[in-house]
Amino acid sequence: MHNFNSGPSVLPQEVLQQASEAVLNFNNTGLSILEIGHRTNWFIDVINEARQHVKDLMQLSDGYEVLFLHGGATTQFMQVPMNLLDTGETAAYCDNGIWGSKAIKEASLFGNAFVAASSKDKNHTYIPKNFQVPSHTKYLHITTNNTVEGTQWHQLPEVNVPLIGDMSSDIFSRQVDFSRFDLIYAGAQKNMGAAGVNLVVVKKSLLGKIKRPIPAIMDYQKHIEAHSLLNTPPVFAIYVAMLTLRWIKKEGGLAEMEKRSIEKSNLLYSTIDSLSLFKCHVAKEDRSHMNAVFFIEDENLQNKFLEECKAANMVGVKGYRTVGGIRVSMYNALASESVQAFCELATYFNQKNS
């Protein structure tokens, strides 16, 4: 089975094995990981290890705090402005796709959401460059990888305001100067683990500056004070994230993840570009290493190709419902052999139908 799902997505086999064993007997305690208390030393050790792996991989100072929260990245669309944007203040956003657009909509409930840059004019097939962010804005929010549209920021914008990154779909896939960000959030279900937990990495000096009351469960500072245990956390999802982070470090860290990612995406794009039936509309310099989005312009042929993918045990290749087409997601745990198999099928299909 070749798992190209965009999320929840493929996980390392050894992580699946370890997690399945822990469901029956966690660390020889005689209890399932699903049964242990979240305030026991057993779980405290898990979340502390996960937190340390994040800081090690990101090479961040003690000025940053690592949180594991409920709600996924979508909750952060509102939680970020709730904590950082006072009534009447302005935050800058990049509208580079569906998730950025959703974040803008939520931010407008708490203050002014200024669209600093947009790729809407070309159906979000590129990343804007050389845009200006007004100095009075409280922060700039970007989505570093656009899962639906297949674009990625390969160079971070230079700004003089705090930078906020939704890194849900390319977190831990490449080497980044994470200290350029003041806050990062990411749903776990792409490169970091199972669905059900959201990672938030925040510079502590960024917080505590707004006058608006914040509900305790939405207040980053309250979660920091409680070490992500303000309420019962998603224990199993955090455990799987810890195992996945441990696997990333064991495999060679972010340098190795980036090397594999570039190799897989180069193979995929070079194949697609060489085939007459397949068209990728994304600007070459902005193509995502995580999610390749492309089309067969003849819809009947495209549906036929999707059926052949299904017959070849390739799942998750149908494009997002608002975009259509074909999408191949190439997260950390996807073996290069799966990309090779897809390229061979696409080449054979092109030869047979062109």
Q: Is 222 assigned a catalytic role?
A: no
In the set 99, 153, 182, 286, the catalytic residue is 99
Q: Report the predicted TM-score, pTM, of the whole model to 2 decimal places.
A: 0.97
* pLDDT score at 174: 98
Query: In this structure, which amino acid lies at residue 107?
Result: A
- Give the 3-state secondary structure of residue 128: coil
List, in sequence order, every residue forming a beta bridge with 67; answer none if it has no partner: 200
Amino acid at site 46: V
The Cα–Cα gap between 37 and 22 comes to 14
Torsion of CA 100, 101, 106, 108, to 10 degrees: 110
Kind of pairing between the strands at 314-315 and 291-296: unpaired
Composition of the chain by helix, strand, coil, percent to 5? 40, 15, 40
Question: Look-up: residue for tokens 């570009």?
Answer: 273
Span 199-210, average pLDDT: 97
Give yes or no: 99 in active site. yes
What does the alpha-carbon distance between residue 221 and residue 118 come to, in Å, rounded to a whole number? 32
Cβ-proximal residues to 191 (8 Å cutoff; 6+ apart), any chain:
169, 170, 171, 172, 173, 244, 257, 290, 331, 332, 333
**Residue 180 near residue 315, CB atoms below 8 Å:** no
Number of H helices, E strands in the chain: 9, 14
**166 an active-site residue?**
yes
Q: Which of 95, 138, 190, 219 is catalytic?
A: 190
Burial classification of residue 46, based on how many CB atoms lie within 10 Å of its CB (0-12 exposed, 13-18 middle, 19 or more buried):
buried
Q: Residue 217 — pLDDT band, cuts 50, 70, 90? A: very high
Angle, CA 208 vertex, CA 205 and CA 210 arms, to 5°: 125
Specify the pLDDT at position 303: 97
Condensed to tens digits (0 to 9), the pLDDT of residues 247-295 reads 999 999 999 999 999 999 999 999 999 999 999 999 999 999 999 999 9
DSSP letter at 218 equals G
| Integer Cα distance of 167 and 146 in angstroms | 9
Q: Which CATH class is domain 13-251?
A: alpha beta
φ and ψ at 198, to 5 degrees?
-125, 130
Q: What is the mean pLDDT of residues 302-321?
A: 97
pLDDT digits (tens, 9 = 90+) for 108-159: 999 999 999 999 999 999 999 999 999 999 999 999 999 999 999 999 999 9
8: cis peptide before it, omega within 30°?
A: yes
Which CATH fold topology does 253-353 show?
Aspartate Aminotransferase, domain 1 (3.90.1150)
Q: What is the mean pLDDT of residues 32-42?
A: 97
Task: Given the residues 95, 166, 170, 286, select the one marked as catalytic.
Answer: 166
- The rounded distance, in Å, linking the Cα atoms of 100 and 165 is 10
- pLDDT on residue 333: 98
Place of tokens 């939520």: 106
Q: Residue ranges per domain, the chain?
A: 13-251, 253-353
